[in-house]
């Protein structure tokens, strides 16, 4: 096992780096997009609500692998050439954003209606009420489920391996094929995922305590 680490560490490190990069982009992107679609889902206009829920239902009910493959294969056919890393990261972002939208929506609904009414009666627009009053309270409530989503996101980034995204899983597959040391390789890969997810998990718990 040490032999694999010492001989393969450049590929492993590069895979780890790509996994972290993809995760960070997808985490930020899915949080923004997810919050946006959560707000659409609670709009007072029916058409906008429908747009929000169609988006959520499409992206959370199709397997991530299919979404990533779609971006990897279809986008180059009609639009522009994109790398496997880009296709996979976009797919992961959109897929995760659908789950985050549902989480954020639940968080907003958990804030008592009086908070919004108080803000509106005080002269704030609905947008300002969301920004200053409702969303801060909603996010405080949903930190634990959001942490779950983020950890899932990091693990799900292994979908990049199927679209030549050069992530940790992809490099692991390559090393396993080359060296035929399948079990030790995947063991090392597993440990490396833990290096990302454990601090993330710890940080979310810390945030939860801090804001409680």
Partner 1 sequence: MSMIEFHNVQKYYGKFHALKDINLTIDAGETVVLIGPSGSGKSSLIRTINGLDPIRDGQLIVNGFDLADKKTNVNLIRKDVGMVFQHFNLYNNKTVLENIMLAPRIVLKRPEEENRELAMQLLKKVGLENQAEKMPAQLSGGQKQRIAIARSLAMKPKCLLFDEPTSALDPEMIDDVLDVMKDIAENSNMTMLVVTHEMGFARAVADRVIFMADGRILEDDSTAKFFDDQPSTQRARDFMSKISGH
Least distance to partner 1, CB of residue 38, Å:
18
Q: At its nearest, how many Å lie between partner 1 and the CB of residue 191?
A: 40
Q: Which of 115, 148, 152, 197 binds partner 1 (CB under 8 A)?
A: 115
In the block, residue with structure tokens 């829920």: 53
Q: CB–CB of 111/138 below 8 Å?
A: yes
At residue 152's C-alpha, the angle toward residues 29 and 30, to 5°, is 10
CA distance 91 to 89: 5
* Residue among 78, 114, 209, 210 that touches partner 1 (CB under 8 A): 114
- Of 124 and 164, nearer to partner 1 (C-beta) is 124
Instruction: Give the separation between CA 84 and CA 42, rounded to whole angstroms.
Output: 35
Total residues binding partner 1 (CB under 8 A)? 17
Smaller CB separation from partner 1, 38 or 134: 134
What's the min distance (Å) between Cβ of 27 and partner 1?
24
Footprint (CB under 8 A) of partner 1, residues 117-156? 117-125, 128, 132-133, 136-137, 140
Q: Are 185 and 172 in contact (CB under 8 A)?
A: yes
């Amino acid at each position: 096992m040490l032999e694999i680490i010492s001989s393969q560490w450049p590929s492993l490190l590069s895979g780890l780096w790509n996994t972290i990069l993809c995760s960070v982009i997808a985490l930020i992107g899915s949080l923004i997009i997810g919050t946006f679609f959560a707000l659409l889902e609670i709009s007072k206009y029916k058409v906008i609500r429908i747009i929000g829920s169609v988006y959520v239902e499409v992206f959370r009910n199709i397997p991530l692998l299919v979404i990533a493959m779609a971006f990897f294969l279809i986008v180059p056919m009609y639009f522009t050439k994109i790398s496997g890393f880009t296709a996979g990261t976009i797919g992961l972002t959109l897929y995760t954003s659908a789950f985050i939208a549902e989480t954020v929506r639940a968080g907003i609904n958990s804030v008592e209606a009086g908070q919004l009414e108080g803000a509106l009666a005080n002269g704030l627009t609905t947008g300002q009420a969301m920004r200053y009053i409702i969303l801060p309270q909603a996010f405080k409530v949903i930190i634990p489920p959001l942490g779950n989503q983020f950890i899932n996101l990091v693990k799900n980034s292994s979908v990049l391996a199927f679209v030549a995204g050069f992530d940790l899983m992809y490099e692991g597959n390559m090393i396993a094929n080359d060296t035929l040391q399948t079990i030790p390789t995947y063991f090392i890969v597993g440990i490396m995922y833990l290096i990302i997810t454990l601090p993330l998990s710890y940080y979310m718990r810390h945030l939860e305590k801090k804001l409680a």
